[in-house]
Each structure stands twice: as structure tokens, then as C-alpha cells.
Amino acid sequence: DTWDQLIAINLSSVFHTTKAALPSMKARGWGRIVNIASAHGVVASPFKAPYTASKHAVVGFSKAVALEVAEQGITCNALCPGYVRTPLVEKQVVDQAKVHNLPEDRVIREVILAAQPTKQFVEADEVAAFTVFLCSDAARSVTGSVQLIDGGWTAR
């Protein structure tokens, strides 16, 4: 069930949204697609096979779409943030605190952000600002790329 849910949410939704948006982008001769993947779109973590597989697939899908529409004024990129403090991550912090019998601040630093060298969450406004850039004319030659905003996580 988890596999099917993650594929539907993380991958099938990207496909269906792109399919719906491309005709009008093609008609205008301009468009920007920014798919939010994850640092897990380029690296794996144990016990996250369905999530990692779905995010790797988003990266591959984004590259393929970029190639298919490259001559039509449309770009497609995958934005791959590290851990962003979201309600889902907040729940993970609470759950991991119980599992490891640690205070939440230690769970954040030693468990959740253990692989993120900055030891800071990526802020949602950072992801938004990067997305705005990728949608701008200044990024017209940025297509088929994997853009990391992960606090150095994948630099290791």
C-alpha cells in the first residue's frame, strides 16, 4: 500500500500535471515546469525504498520531458531539497524522539539532519525563491537539470 501511495503522490501526480499543462505551453511557445523531487532523487537512504524510487523517477521524468520540449520554449527541471521543516517532518521528529528516547532538538541534529552538513532545515521560502528563478527568463537555458538545495547533504 505504501508503494502505491508514494508512486501516486510523488510520481503519477507529476505526470498528470505535466500532461495537462503541456498543450497550452506548446500553444504559447513558452512554459516552465519545476518538479519538486528531493535529495532522495539523487541519493538513497535505508528503509526509504518506495520514497527514494519515486523521487529518482521524478528526476528521470523531468529530464525526459526537458528533452522532448527543448525546442518549444519550455523548460523542465527537478528541484531537490534536503529536509524542509514541514508537518510531515515535524511528525517524524516526534516519532523519532520516541524511538530513540531523545529530546526533539537532539533528534533534529543527530537523526533527521545527521547527513545534512549545515544541520539546518532548508526553509520553504528558499525552495520558493529557487522555483521563482527557474520560472524566470534568466533561467531559459536551465532545462533537464537537477537543482539541489540540500544544505550540502549530497556533497558527501
Q: Which residues are catalytic?
A: 51
Element (H, E) at 80: strand 74-81
What span, in angstroms and rounded, lies between the C-alpha atoms of 33 and 45? 27
Distance from the Cα of residue 71 to its chain's centroid: 25
Phi and psi angles of residue 155, each rounded to the nearest 5 degrees, phi first: -75, -15
What region, left, alpha or beta, does residue 82 occupy, with left being phi > 0 and alpha being psi -120 to 50 degrees?
Answer: beta
3-state SS class at 122: strand
Q: Radius of gyration over alpha carbons of the chain, in Å? A: 17
Torsion of Cα atoms, 37 then 43 then 47 then 48, to 10° = 10
